[in-house]
Structure 1
Amino acid sequence: MSAETVAVVVVTFNRADLLVGMLDGLAAQTHAPDAVIVIDNASTDHTRAVLEARTDLPLRVTFSDDNLGGAGGFHLGVRTAYDAGFDRVWLMDDDVVPAPDCLAALMAVDEDCLIAVREDLAGTLVEKAAIDFDLRNPLAVRPKRAAVDTVYADRASMPALVEVQNVAFEGFMVRRDVIAEIGFPDPAFFIFYDDAEYAVRARRAGRRIWAVRDAVLVRQLDFNQQHDLSGWKGFYMYRNLFVVHLRHGENALVRLKPWLITLAVVLLSPVRGGRAEAGNVIRAMASARGMRRLTETALPPR
Protein backbone atom coordinates (compact mmCIF):
# COMPACT_ATOMS: atom_id res chain seq x y z
CA MET A 1 0.00 0.00 0.00
CA SER A 2 1.23 3.49 -0.84
CA ALA A 3 1.98 5.77 2.12
CA GLU A 4 0.83 8.77 0.09
CA THR A 5 -2.42 10.48 1.05
CA VAL A 6 -5.20 10.68 -1.51
CA ALA A 7 -8.29 12.82 -1.81
CA VAL A 8 -11.16 11.92 -4.12
CA VAL A 9 -12.81 14.87 -5.87
CA VAL A 10 -16.41 14.29 -6.95
CA VAL A 11 -18.50 16.75 -8.95
CA THR A 12 -22.25 16.19 -8.99
CA PHE A 13 -25.36 17.86 -10.33
CA ASN A 14 -28.93 16.57 -9.96
CA ARG A 15 -28.06 12.88 -10.05
CA ALA A 16 -28.61 11.93 -6.42
CA ASP A 17 -29.54 8.31 -7.11
CA LEU A 18 -26.42 7.72 -9.18
CA LEU A 19 -24.36 9.52 -6.56
CA VAL A 20 -25.47 6.96 -3.96
CA GLY A 21 -23.93 4.12 -5.98
CA MET A 22 -20.70 6.01 -6.54
CA LEU A 23 -20.36 6.81 -2.81
CA ASP A 24 -21.12 3.17 -1.96
CA GLY A 25 -18.24 2.23 -4.24
CA LEU A 26 -15.88 4.63 -2.47
CA ALA A 27 -16.95 3.31 0.94
CA ALA A 28 -16.11 -0.24 -0.19
CA GLN A 29 -12.53 0.54 -1.28
CA THR A 30 -9.83 -1.72 0.12
CA HIS A 31 -7.58 1.35 0.18
CA ALA A 32 -9.70 3.93 1.96
CA PRO A 33 -9.42 7.51 0.67
CA ASP A 34 -8.21 10.10 3.14
CA ALA A 35 -10.89 12.56 2.07
CA VAL A 36 -13.82 12.70 -0.34
CA ILE A 37 -14.26 16.27 -1.54
CA VAL A 38 -17.69 16.72 -3.13
CA ILE A 39 -18.66 19.77 -5.17
CA ASP A 40 -22.43 19.96 -5.52
CA ASN A 41 -23.23 22.20 -8.47
CA ALA A 42 -26.41 23.76 -7.05
CA SER A 43 -28.44 20.57 -7.35
CA THR A 44 -32.21 20.89 -6.94
CA ASP A 45 -32.95 17.21 -6.29
CA HIS A 46 -32.24 15.31 -3.04
CA THR A 47 -28.45 15.41 -3.39
CA ARG A 48 -28.03 17.35 -0.14
CA ALA A 49 -29.94 14.70 1.81
CA VAL A 50 -27.83 11.93 0.25
CA LEU A 51 -24.61 13.66 1.25
CA GLU A 52 -25.73 14.59 4.74
CA ALA A 53 -26.61 10.94 5.42
CA ARG A 54 -23.12 9.63 4.58
CA THR A 55 -21.32 9.24 7.88
CA ASP A 56 -19.26 6.32 6.54
CA LEU A 57 -16.99 8.49 4.39
CA PRO A 58 -14.60 11.37 5.20
CA LEU A 59 -16.74 13.85 3.25
CA ARG A 60 -15.85 17.49 2.72
CA VAL A 61 -18.80 18.99 0.85
CA THR A 62 -19.13 22.33 -0.89
CA PHE A 63 -22.68 23.27 -1.85
CA SER A 64 -22.20 25.80 -4.62
CA ASP A 65 -24.80 28.53 -5.05
CA ASP A 66 -24.30 28.34 -8.82
CA ASN A 67 -23.79 25.59 -11.36
CA LEU A 68 -20.08 25.86 -12.08
CA GLY A 69 -20.20 23.15 -14.73
CA GLY A 70 -17.95 20.12 -14.61
CA ALA A 71 -14.88 22.27 -15.32
CA GLY A 72 -15.63 24.75 -12.56
CA GLY A 73 -16.46 21.98 -10.13
CA PHE A 74 -13.23 20.10 -10.78
CA HIS A 75 -11.27 23.34 -10.60
CA LEU A 76 -12.69 24.05 -7.15
CA GLY A 77 -12.31 20.46 -5.96
CA VAL A 78 -8.70 20.06 -7.11
CA ARG A 79 -7.78 23.42 -5.58
CA THR A 80 -9.40 22.37 -2.30
CA ALA A 81 -7.48 19.09 -2.28
CA TYR A 82 -4.21 20.82 -3.17
CA ASP A 83 -4.62 23.49 -0.49
CA ALA A 84 -5.33 20.74 2.06
CA GLY A 85 -1.96 19.14 1.26
CA PHE A 86 -2.96 15.76 -0.19
CA ASP A 87 -0.30 13.89 -2.15
CA ARG A 88 -2.61 12.58 -4.86
CA VAL A 89 -5.98 13.72 -6.17
CA TRP A 90 -8.42 11.28 -7.80
CA LEU A 91 -11.12 12.89 -9.93
CA MET A 92 -14.49 11.19 -10.13
CA ASP A 93 -17.83 11.78 -11.80
CA ASP A 94 -21.13 10.90 -10.15
CA ASP A 95 -22.15 8.20 -12.65
CA VAL A 96 -19.29 5.72 -12.18
CA VAL A 97 -18.65 3.07 -9.53
CA PRO A 98 -15.09 1.96 -8.73
CA ALA A 99 -14.42 -1.72 -8.14
CA PRO A 100 -13.38 -2.38 -4.51
CA ASP A 101 -9.67 -2.57 -5.37
CA CYS A 102 -9.67 0.29 -7.89
CA LEU A 103 -8.01 2.87 -5.66
CA ALA A 104 -5.52 0.32 -4.34
CA ALA A 105 -4.52 -0.57 -7.91
CA LEU A 106 -3.90 3.10 -8.73
CA MET A 107 -1.99 3.85 -5.53
CA ALA A 108 0.31 0.89 -6.20
CA VAL A 109 1.60 2.53 -9.40
CA ASP A 110 4.46 4.99 -8.88
CA GLU A 111 3.59 7.41 -11.68
CA ASP A 112 2.45 11.03 -11.64
CA CYS A 113 -0.62 10.77 -13.87
CA LEU A 114 -2.92 7.74 -14.06
CA ILE A 115 -6.40 6.79 -15.19
CA ALA A 116 -8.67 3.97 -14.12
CA VAL A 117 -9.99 1.95 -17.05
CA ARG A 118 -13.73 2.15 -17.64
CA GLU A 119 -16.14 -0.60 -18.57
CA ASP A 120 -19.91 -0.68 -18.88
CA LEU A 121 -22.42 -2.63 -16.80
CA ALA A 122 -21.97 -5.66 -19.05
CA GLY A 123 -18.20 -5.68 -18.49
CA THR A 124 -17.37 -4.38 -21.98
CA LEU A 125 -14.29 -2.18 -22.28
CA VAL A 126 -15.43 1.42 -22.93
CA GLU A 127 -12.29 3.38 -22.18
CA LYS A 128 -12.28 6.33 -24.60
CA ALA A 129 -8.93 7.87 -23.59
CA ALA A 130 -6.90 8.54 -26.70
CA ILE A 131 -3.72 6.66 -27.36
CA ASP A 132 -3.07 9.30 -30.02
CA PHE A 133 -4.27 12.89 -29.48
CA ASP A 134 -3.06 14.64 -32.62
CA LEU A 135 -2.37 18.37 -32.44
CA ARG A 136 0.16 18.21 -35.29
CA ASN A 137 -1.89 17.29 -38.35
CA PRO A 138 -4.03 20.15 -39.68
CA LEU A 139 -6.13 17.68 -41.69
CA ALA A 140 -7.32 15.84 -38.58
CA VAL A 141 -10.68 17.47 -37.81
CA ARG A 142 -10.83 15.79 -34.40
CA PRO A 143 -7.54 15.41 -32.52
CA LYS A 144 -8.54 12.15 -30.83
CA ARG A 145 -7.33 9.29 -32.99
CA ALA A 146 -6.93 5.74 -31.68
CA ALA A 147 -8.54 5.15 -28.27
CA VAL A 148 -7.99 2.39 -25.71
CA ASP A 149 -11.23 0.63 -26.63
CA THR A 150 -10.47 0.76 -30.36
CA VAL A 151 -6.96 -0.68 -29.94
CA TYR A 152 -7.83 -3.40 -27.40
CA ALA A 153 -10.76 -5.76 -27.70
CA ASP A 154 -11.15 -6.17 -23.95
CA ARG A 155 -9.39 -5.53 -20.66
CA ALA A 156 -7.69 -8.94 -20.70
CA SER A 157 -5.85 -8.08 -23.92
CA MET A 158 -4.34 -4.91 -22.43
CA PRO A 159 -0.87 -4.77 -20.89
CA ALA A 160 -0.78 -3.74 -17.25
CA LEU A 161 -0.07 -0.12 -18.21
CA VAL A 162 -1.07 1.62 -21.44
CA GLU A 163 0.21 5.10 -22.21
CA VAL A 164 -2.56 7.53 -23.17
CA GLN A 165 -2.48 11.12 -24.36
CA ASN A 166 -5.78 12.48 -23.07
CA VAL A 167 -8.03 11.74 -20.13
CA ALA A 168 -11.54 12.08 -18.80
CA PHE A 169 -12.06 13.59 -15.37
CA GLU A 170 -13.70 10.29 -14.54
CA GLY A 171 -11.04 8.24 -12.84
CA PHE A 172 -8.02 10.48 -13.49
CA MET A 173 -5.39 10.62 -10.71
CA VAL A 174 -2.69 13.29 -10.45
CA ARG A 175 0.10 13.98 -7.96
CA ARG A 176 0.33 17.35 -6.25
CA ASP A 177 3.75 18.16 -7.77
CA VAL A 178 2.10 18.06 -11.21
CA ILE A 179 -0.57 20.48 -10.02
CA ALA A 180 2.14 22.70 -8.56
CA GLU A 181 3.83 22.83 -11.97
CA ILE A 182 0.94 23.07 -14.43
CA GLY A 183 -1.90 24.50 -12.35
CA PHE A 184 -5.55 23.59 -12.02
CA PRO A 185 -8.34 22.58 -14.42
CA ASP A 186 -9.57 25.65 -16.29
CA PRO A 187 -13.02 26.66 -14.96
CA ALA A 188 -13.75 28.78 -18.05
CA PHE A 189 -14.39 25.63 -20.11
CA PHE A 190 -17.61 24.93 -18.14
CA ILE A 191 -18.05 21.53 -19.83
CA PHE A 192 -16.14 19.50 -22.45
CA TYR A 193 -12.41 19.39 -23.21
CA ASP A 194 -11.27 20.74 -19.83
CA ASP A 195 -9.89 17.28 -19.10
CA ALA A 196 -8.23 16.92 -22.51
CA GLU A 197 -6.64 20.35 -22.16
CA TYR A 198 -5.31 19.47 -18.71
CA ALA A 199 -3.75 16.28 -20.08
CA VAL A 200 -2.01 18.27 -22.82
CA ARG A 201 -0.54 20.57 -20.18
CA ALA A 202 0.70 17.59 -18.17
CA ARG A 203 2.33 15.98 -21.18
CA ARG A 204 3.92 19.27 -22.26
CA ALA A 205 5.47 19.39 -18.79
CA GLY A 206 7.09 16.01 -19.45
CA ARG A 207 4.60 13.83 -17.58
CA ARG A 208 3.40 10.56 -19.07
CA ILE A 209 -0.16 9.38 -18.47
CA TRP A 210 -0.86 5.71 -17.86
CA ALA A 211 -4.09 3.73 -18.03
CA VAL A 212 -3.96 1.11 -15.28
CA ARG A 213 -5.58 -2.07 -16.58
CA ASP A 214 -6.46 -3.49 -13.17
CA ALA A 215 -8.07 -0.30 -11.86
CA VAL A 216 -11.69 -1.00 -12.83
CA LEU A 217 -14.25 1.80 -13.04
CA VAL A 218 -17.81 0.90 -14.06
CA ARG A 219 -19.95 3.44 -15.91
CA GLN A 220 -23.60 3.36 -14.89
CA LEU A 221 -24.83 5.12 -18.03
CA ASP A 222 -24.17 4.53 -21.71
CA PHE A 223 -21.77 6.88 -23.44
CA ASN A 224 -23.54 9.63 -25.37
CA GLN A 225 -21.01 11.65 -27.32
CA GLN A 226 -23.41 12.72 -30.08
CA HIS A 227 -24.59 16.09 -28.84
CA ASP A 228 -26.83 18.56 -30.64
CA LEU A 229 -24.34 20.96 -32.19
CA SER A 230 -27.06 23.56 -32.65
CA GLY A 231 -27.89 23.60 -28.91
CA TRP A 232 -26.09 25.00 -25.88
CA LYS A 233 -23.82 21.97 -25.56
CA GLY A 234 -22.80 22.44 -29.18
CA PHE A 235 -21.49 25.90 -28.37
CA TYR A 236 -19.20 24.54 -25.65
CA MET A 237 -18.07 21.60 -27.77
CA TYR A 238 -17.03 23.88 -30.61
CA ARG A 239 -15.55 26.62 -28.45
CA ASN A 240 -13.50 24.38 -26.18
CA LEU A 241 -12.21 22.28 -29.08
CA PHE A 242 -11.10 25.53 -30.69
CA VAL A 243 -9.40 26.65 -27.46
CA VAL A 244 -7.37 23.44 -27.26
CA HIS A 245 -6.13 24.05 -30.81
CA LEU A 246 -5.40 27.74 -30.27
CA ARG A 247 -3.50 27.07 -27.04
CA HIS A 248 -1.72 23.87 -27.89
CA GLY A 249 -1.61 23.45 -31.67
CA GLU A 250 1.92 22.42 -32.58
CA ASN A 251 2.13 24.47 -35.77
CA ALA A 252 0.48 27.45 -37.41
CA LEU A 253 -1.76 25.31 -39.63
CA VAL A 254 -3.22 23.46 -36.65
CA ARG A 255 -3.85 26.77 -34.89
CA LEU A 256 -5.60 27.95 -38.05
CA LYS A 257 -7.91 24.92 -38.05
CA PRO A 258 -10.66 26.46 -35.84
CA TRP A 259 -11.13 29.22 -38.38
CA LEU A 260 -11.40 26.68 -41.20
CA ILE A 261 -13.92 24.59 -39.26
CA THR A 262 -15.98 27.71 -38.58
CA LEU A 263 -15.97 28.61 -42.26
CA ALA A 264 -16.92 25.06 -43.29
CA VAL A 265 -19.83 24.87 -40.82
CA VAL A 266 -21.19 28.25 -41.96
CA LEU A 267 -20.89 27.38 -45.65
CA LEU A 268 -22.56 24.00 -45.15
CA SER A 269 -25.29 25.30 -42.85
CA PRO A 270 -27.99 25.45 -45.59
CA VAL A 271 -27.69 21.67 -46.02
CA ARG A 272 -26.31 20.62 -42.64
CA GLY A 273 -26.94 22.03 -39.18
CA GLY A 274 -28.91 25.11 -40.19
CA ARG A 275 -28.66 28.65 -38.90
CA ALA A 276 -28.56 27.61 -35.24
CA GLU A 277 -25.36 25.58 -35.64
CA ALA A 278 -23.82 28.30 -37.80
CA GLY A 279 -24.59 30.83 -35.09
CA ASN A 280 -23.11 28.53 -32.47
CA VAL A 281 -19.84 28.07 -34.29
CA ILE A 282 -19.46 31.80 -34.97
CA ARG A 283 -20.04 32.63 -31.31
CA ALA A 284 -17.72 29.79 -30.31
CA MET A 285 -14.90 31.11 -32.49
CA ALA A 286 -15.33 34.63 -31.13
CA SER A 287 -15.25 33.35 -27.55
CA ALA A 288 -12.30 31.03 -28.15
CA ARG A 289 -10.16 33.92 -29.38
CA GLY A 290 -10.39 35.43 -25.92
CA MET A 291 -9.31 32.17 -24.25
CA ARG A 292 -5.91 31.68 -25.86
CA ARG A 293 -4.29 32.07 -22.46
CA LEU A 294 -5.01 29.94 -19.42
CA THR A 295 -7.56 31.48 -17.07
CA GLU A 296 -5.72 33.22 -14.23
CA THR A 297 -7.28 31.09 -11.48
CA ALA A 298 -6.04 27.94 -13.28
CA LEU A 299 -2.40 29.06 -13.25
CA PRO A 300 0.09 27.19 -11.03
CA PRO A 301 -0.16 28.15 -7.35
CA ARG A 302 2.32 30.77 -6.18
Structure 2
Amino acid sequence: MRILVTGGAGFIGSEFVRGLLARRTDRVTVLDALTYSGNLANLAPVANLPGFHFVRADIRDADAVGRAMAGQDAVVHFAAESHVDRSIASATPFVTTNVLGTQVLLDAALAHGVGRFVHVSTDEVYGSIDAGAWSEDQPLDPSSPYSASKAGSDLLALAYHRTHGLDVVVTRCSNNYGPYQYSEKLIPLFVTRLLRGEQVPLYGDGGNVREWLHVADHCQGVELALDKGRSGQIYHIGGGTELTNRELVGRLLVACGRDWDAVRQVPDRKGHDRRYALAVDRIRDELGYAPRIPFDEGLAGTVAWYRDNPGWWRPPAGAAGEHPAGA
Protein backbone atom coordinates (compact mmCIF):
# COMPACT_ATOMS: atom_id res chain seq x y z
CA MET A 1 0.00 0.00 0.00
CA ARG A 2 1.15 3.55 -0.78
CA ILE A 3 0.22 5.83 2.12
CA LEU A 4 0.45 9.61 2.39
CA VAL A 5 0.90 10.71 6.02
CA THR A 6 0.37 14.40 6.67
CA GLY A 7 2.10 15.90 9.70
CA GLY A 8 4.37 12.88 9.80
CA ALA A 9 7.28 14.79 11.34
CA GLY A 10 5.22 15.72 14.39
CA PHE A 11 4.77 13.85 17.65
CA ILE A 12 1.92 11.48 16.76
CA GLY A 13 2.52 11.32 13.02
CA SER A 14 6.17 10.32 13.41
CA GLU A 15 5.22 7.58 15.88
CA PHE A 16 2.77 6.25 13.31
CA VAL A 17 5.35 6.35 10.50
CA ARG A 18 8.12 4.73 12.56
CA GLY A 19 5.78 1.94 13.68
CA LEU A 20 4.30 1.35 10.25
CA LEU A 21 7.66 1.05 8.51
CA ALA A 22 9.01 -1.19 11.28
CA ARG A 23 6.17 -3.71 10.90
CA ARG A 24 4.99 -3.47 7.30
CA THR A 25 6.16 -3.18 3.71
CA ASP A 26 4.01 -0.15 2.84
CA ARG A 27 5.54 2.78 0.98
CA VAL A 28 5.05 5.89 3.12
CA THR A 29 5.26 9.49 1.93
CA VAL A 30 5.38 12.05 4.74
CA LEU A 31 4.09 15.52 3.90
CA ASP A 32 5.00 18.07 6.57
CA ALA A 33 5.57 21.84 6.56
CA LEU A 34 8.12 21.54 9.42
CA THR A 35 6.55 24.33 11.44
CA TYR A 36 7.69 24.88 15.02
CA SER A 37 6.48 21.47 16.24
CA GLY A 38 7.66 19.40 13.27
CA ASN A 39 11.11 17.87 13.56
CA LEU A 40 12.96 15.76 11.01
CA ALA A 41 14.90 14.18 13.90
CA ASN A 42 11.66 12.37 14.77
CA LEU A 43 11.95 10.48 11.48
CA ALA A 44 15.68 9.73 11.65
CA PRO A 45 15.14 6.04 12.54
CA VAL A 46 13.33 5.44 9.23
CA ALA A 47 14.80 8.14 6.98
CA ASN A 48 17.01 5.71 5.05
CA LEU A 49 14.47 2.94 4.57
CA PRO A 50 13.51 2.25 0.94
CA GLY A 51 9.80 2.65 1.67
CA PHE A 52 10.16 6.17 3.06
CA HIS A 53 9.84 9.47 1.19
CA PHE A 54 9.63 12.99 2.62
CA VAL A 55 7.98 16.05 1.06
CA ARG A 56 8.26 19.42 2.74
CA ALA A 57 5.01 21.23 1.97
CA ASP A 58 2.04 22.92 3.59
CA ILE A 59 -1.33 21.16 3.39
CA ARG A 60 -2.84 24.49 2.28
CA ASP A 61 -0.69 24.41 -0.89
CA ALA A 62 -2.98 22.74 -3.43
CA ASP A 63 -0.28 22.26 -6.07
CA ALA A 64 2.15 20.60 -3.67
CA VAL A 65 -0.60 18.47 -2.14
CA GLY A 66 -1.75 17.36 -5.58
CA ARG A 67 1.74 16.25 -6.55
CA ALA A 68 2.17 14.32 -3.29
CA MET A 69 -1.29 12.76 -3.54
CA ALA A 70 -0.80 11.34 -7.04
CA GLY A 71 -0.44 7.56 -6.92
CA GLN A 72 -1.36 7.16 -3.25
CA ASP A 73 -3.72 4.43 -2.06
CA ALA A 74 -4.58 6.01 1.30
CA VAL A 75 -4.14 9.16 3.35
CA VAL A 76 -3.67 9.36 7.12
CA HIS A 77 -4.18 13.00 8.05
CA PHE A 78 -2.46 14.05 11.28
CA ALA A 79 -1.36 17.55 10.25
CA ALA A 80 -2.98 20.23 12.42
CA GLU A 81 -2.41 23.23 14.60
CA SER A 82 -3.20 21.67 17.97
CA HIS A 83 -2.36 23.82 21.01
CA VAL A 84 -5.36 25.44 22.71
CA ASP A 85 -3.40 28.33 24.22
CA ARG A 86 -2.04 29.32 20.83
CA SER A 87 -5.54 29.24 19.34
CA ILE A 88 -6.75 31.63 22.04
CA ALA A 89 -3.94 34.02 21.18
CA SER A 90 -4.64 33.79 17.42
CA ALA A 91 -7.26 31.62 15.74
CA THR A 92 -6.22 32.33 12.13
CA PRO A 93 -3.60 29.58 11.65
CA PHE A 94 -5.98 27.06 13.24
CA VAL A 95 -8.82 27.85 10.86
CA THR A 96 -6.66 28.03 7.76
CA THR A 97 -4.64 24.89 8.52
CA ASN A 98 -7.22 22.68 10.17
CA VAL A 99 -10.24 23.56 8.03
CA LEU A 100 -8.94 24.89 4.71
CA GLY A 101 -5.93 22.56 4.73
CA THR A 102 -8.21 19.58 5.25
CA GLN A 103 -10.41 20.75 2.38
CA VAL A 104 -7.36 20.93 0.09
CA LEU A 105 -6.43 17.36 1.03
CA LEU A 106 -9.96 16.06 0.53
CA ASP A 107 -10.20 17.65 -2.91
CA ALA A 108 -6.84 16.15 -3.91
CA ALA A 109 -7.86 12.72 -2.62
CA LEU A 110 -11.02 12.89 -4.73
CA ALA A 111 -9.15 14.06 -7.80
CA HIS A 112 -6.55 11.28 -7.56
CA GLY A 113 -8.91 8.43 -6.66
CA VAL A 114 -7.44 7.72 -3.23
CA GLY A 115 -9.01 4.65 -1.66
CA ARG A 116 -9.16 5.63 2.02
CA PHE A 117 -8.86 8.92 3.93
CA VAL A 118 -8.29 8.61 7.70
CA HIS A 119 -8.93 11.93 9.42
CA VAL A 120 -7.35 12.11 12.90
CA SER A 121 -9.23 14.28 15.39
CA THR A 122 -9.68 14.88 19.11
CA ASP A 123 -12.05 14.42 22.04
CA GLU A 124 -12.08 18.20 22.47
CA VAL A 125 -14.67 18.59 19.70
CA TYR A 126 -17.36 17.43 22.16
CA GLY A 127 -16.65 20.01 24.84
CA SER A 128 -16.88 19.13 28.52
CA ILE A 129 -18.76 16.21 30.11
CA ASP A 130 -19.55 16.05 33.83
CA ALA A 131 -19.97 12.27 34.10
CA GLY A 132 -19.90 9.22 31.87
CA ALA A 133 -18.27 9.22 28.44
CA TRP A 134 -19.09 10.60 25.02
CA SER A 135 -20.27 8.18 22.32
CA GLU A 136 -19.42 8.79 18.67
CA ASP A 137 -22.97 9.99 18.04
CA GLN A 138 -22.75 12.87 20.51
CA PRO A 139 -23.33 16.33 18.94
CA LEU A 140 -20.21 18.47 18.77
CA ASP A 141 -19.90 21.40 21.18
CA PRO A 142 -16.33 22.77 21.01
CA SER A 143 -15.14 25.41 23.47
CA SER A 144 -11.90 26.78 21.99
CA PRO A 145 -10.89 28.05 18.55
CA TYR A 146 -8.68 24.96 18.27
CA SER A 147 -11.47 22.47 19.00
CA ALA A 148 -13.91 24.42 16.82
CA SER A 149 -11.49 24.21 13.89
CA LYS A 150 -11.09 20.46 14.43
CA ALA A 151 -14.86 20.01 14.63
CA GLY A 152 -15.16 21.88 11.34
CA SER A 153 -12.59 19.65 9.69
CA ASP A 154 -14.33 16.51 11.02
CA LEU A 155 -17.66 17.60 9.55
CA LEU A 156 -16.02 18.52 6.26
CA ALA A 157 -14.38 15.10 5.97
CA LEU A 158 -17.65 13.31 6.72
CA ALA A 159 -19.47 15.55 4.24
CA TYR A 160 -17.04 14.46 1.49
CA HIS A 161 -17.99 10.87 2.29
CA ARG A 162 -21.71 11.59 2.09
CA THR A 163 -21.56 13.93 -0.91
CA HIS A 164 -18.81 12.42 -3.03
CA GLY A 165 -18.55 8.86 -1.73
CA LEU A 166 -14.96 9.37 -0.56
CA ASP A 167 -13.89 6.53 1.73
CA VAL A 168 -13.47 8.56 4.94
CA VAL A 169 -12.90 7.27 8.47
CA VAL A 170 -12.62 9.71 11.40
CA THR A 171 -10.78 8.90 14.63
CA ARG A 172 -11.03 10.96 17.83
CA CYS A 173 -8.49 10.41 20.60
CA SER A 174 -7.98 11.36 24.21
CA ASN A 175 -4.86 13.20 25.47
CA ASN A 176 -1.66 11.70 24.07
CA TYR A 177 1.70 11.41 25.81
CA GLY A 178 5.02 9.72 25.08
CA PRO A 179 8.51 10.35 23.65
CA TYR A 180 9.10 13.04 21.00
CA GLN A 181 6.21 15.26 22.15
CA TYR A 182 6.89 18.96 21.63
CA SER A 183 7.56 20.76 24.87
CA GLU A 184 4.55 23.09 24.93
CA LYS A 185 2.16 20.28 25.94
CA LEU A 186 1.50 19.42 29.59
CA ILE A 187 3.67 16.35 30.22
CA PRO A 188 6.81 17.34 28.25
CA LEU A 189 6.55 20.94 29.46
CA PHE A 190 6.50 19.84 33.09
CA VAL A 191 9.09 17.08 32.71
CA THR A 192 11.64 19.25 30.95
CA ARG A 193 11.19 22.14 33.40
CA LEU A 194 11.30 19.90 36.45
CA LEU A 195 14.42 18.13 35.22
CA ARG A 196 16.06 21.54 34.75
CA GLY A 197 15.20 22.48 38.35
CA GLU A 198 12.63 25.10 37.32
CA GLN A 199 9.14 25.86 38.58
CA VAL A 200 6.06 24.77 36.66
CA PRO A 201 2.67 26.54 36.27
CA LEU A 202 -0.66 24.82 37.04
CA TYR A 203 -3.91 26.28 35.74
CA GLY A 204 -6.66 27.13 38.24
CA ASP A 205 -7.36 24.55 40.95
CA GLY A 206 -5.85 21.70 38.91
CA GLY A 207 -9.18 19.85 38.96
CA ASN A 208 -9.64 19.52 35.21
CA VAL A 209 -9.88 15.84 34.27
CA ARG A 210 -8.28 14.26 31.21
CA GLU A 211 -8.05 10.70 29.92
CA TRP A 212 -4.47 9.75 29.00
CA LEU A 213 -3.43 7.66 26.00
CA HIS A 214 0.09 6.54 25.11
CA VAL A 215 0.98 7.65 21.59
CA ALA A 216 1.81 4.06 20.57
CA ASP A 217 -1.68 2.93 21.59
CA HIS A 218 -3.20 5.83 19.67
CA CYS A 219 -1.29 4.83 16.55
CA GLN A 220 -2.40 1.23 17.00
CA GLY A 221 -6.00 2.48 16.87
CA VAL A 222 -5.36 4.65 13.81
CA GLU A 223 -3.78 1.69 12.00
CA LEU A 224 -6.82 -0.46 12.81
CA ALA A 225 -9.08 2.28 11.43
CA LEU A 226 -6.94 2.47 8.29
CA ASP A 227 -7.05 -1.27 7.69
CA LYS A 228 -10.49 -2.30 8.96
CA GLY A 229 -12.63 0.73 9.79
CA ARG A 230 -16.05 1.10 8.20
CA SER A 231 -16.32 3.84 5.61
CA GLY A 232 -18.08 6.94 6.93
CA GLN A 233 -17.62 5.83 10.54
CA ILE A 234 -16.16 7.60 13.59
CA TYR A 235 -14.00 5.68 16.07
CA HIS A 236 -12.90 6.78 19.54
CA ILE A 237 -9.38 5.88 20.67
CA GLY A 238 -9.00 6.18 24.46
CA GLY A 239 -6.40 5.22 27.01
CA GLY A 240 -8.68 4.47 29.95
CA THR A 241 -6.73 6.40 32.63
CA GLU A 242 -8.51 9.48 34.00
CA LEU A 243 -6.59 11.92 36.17
CA THR A 244 -7.08 15.46 37.32
CA ASN A 245 -4.26 17.75 36.24
CA ARG A 246 -3.28 18.02 39.89
CA GLU A 247 -3.06 14.22 40.23
CA LEU A 248 -0.93 14.05 37.08
CA VAL A 249 1.38 16.78 38.34
CA GLY A 250 1.83 14.85 41.61
CA ARG A 251 3.03 11.82 39.63
CA LEU A 252 5.38 13.94 37.56
CA LEU A 253 6.88 15.50 40.68
CA VAL A 254 7.65 12.05 42.08
CA ALA A 255 9.08 10.84 38.76
CA CYS A 256 11.35 13.89 38.50
CA GLY A 257 12.42 13.97 42.16
CA ARG A 258 10.74 17.29 42.97
CA ASP A 259 8.08 18.43 45.46
CA TRP A 260 5.09 20.78 45.42
CA ASP A 261 7.32 23.80 46.05
CA ALA A 262 8.14 23.49 42.34
CA VAL A 263 4.50 24.21 41.38
CA ARG A 264 2.83 27.60 41.24
CA GLN A 265 -0.85 28.10 40.50
CA VAL A 266 -1.81 30.54 37.76
CA PRO A 267 -5.22 31.88 36.68
CA ASP A 268 -7.30 29.42 34.67
CA ARG A 269 -7.39 29.81 30.91
CA LYS A 270 -10.42 31.02 28.98
CA GLY A 271 -13.05 28.40 28.13
CA HIS A 272 -11.16 25.63 29.94
CA ASP A 273 -13.20 22.41 29.63
CA ARG A 274 -13.54 20.62 32.96
CA ARG A 275 -13.56 16.98 31.83
CA TYR A 276 -13.24 14.84 28.71
CA ALA A 277 -14.00 11.12 28.43
CA LEU A 278 -14.48 8.82 25.43
CA ALA A 279 -16.45 5.57 25.15
CA VAL A 280 -14.37 3.09 23.12
CA ASP A 281 -16.94 0.31 22.67
CA ARG A 282 -17.15 0.72 18.90
CA ILE A 283 -13.44 0.42 18.11
CA ARG A 284 -13.05 -2.35 20.69
CA ASP A 285 -15.96 -4.42 19.40
CA GLU A 286 -15.53 -3.80 15.66
CA LEU A 287 -11.76 -3.53 15.25
CA GLY A 288 -10.34 -5.30 18.32
CA TYR A 289 -8.68 -2.23 19.86
CA ALA A 290 -7.44 -2.21 23.44
CA PRO A 291 -4.71 -0.01 24.94
CA ARG A 292 -1.59 -2.05 25.67
CA ILE A 293 0.60 0.31 27.70
CA PRO A 294 -0.37 0.82 31.38
CA PHE A 295 -0.23 4.49 32.29
CA ASP A 296 2.34 4.20 35.08
CA GLU A 297 4.64 2.19 32.82
CA GLY A 298 4.17 4.59 29.92
CA LEU A 299 4.71 7.67 32.06
CA ALA A 300 7.92 6.24 33.57
CA GLY A 301 9.21 5.46 30.09
CA THR A 302 8.32 8.93 28.87
CA VAL A 303 10.11 10.67 31.73
CA ALA A 304 13.15 8.43 31.18
CA TRP A 305 13.19 9.33 27.47
CA TYR A 306 13.27 13.07 28.19
CA ARG A 307 15.92 12.53 30.86
CA ASP A 308 18.06 10.54 28.43
CA ASN A 309 17.59 12.84 25.42
CA PRO A 310 18.22 16.43 26.60
CA GLY A 311 19.66 17.33 23.21
CA TRP A 312 16.21 16.87 21.65
CA TRP A 313 14.50 19.46 23.86
CA ARG A 314 13.88 22.97 22.73
CA PRO A 315 11.80 25.71 24.39
CA PRO A 316 8.39 26.56 22.94
CA ALA A 317 8.75 29.03 20.09
CA GLY A 318 6.69 32.08 19.18
CA ALA A 319 4.94 34.79 21.09
CA ALA A 320 2.52 32.63 23.08
CA GLY A 321 5.06 32.38 25.89
CA GLU A 322 4.62 30.07 28.84
CA HIS A 323 1.85 27.51 28.58
CA PRO A 324 0.62 26.31 32.00
CA ALA A 325 -0.54 22.78 32.72
CA GLY A 326 -4.08 22.81 31.46
CA ALA A 327 -4.60 19.95 29.05
Please report the TM-score for the alignment, with normalisation by the length of structure 2. Answer: 0.29
Please report the TM-score for the alignment, with normalisation by the length of structure 1. Answer: 0.31
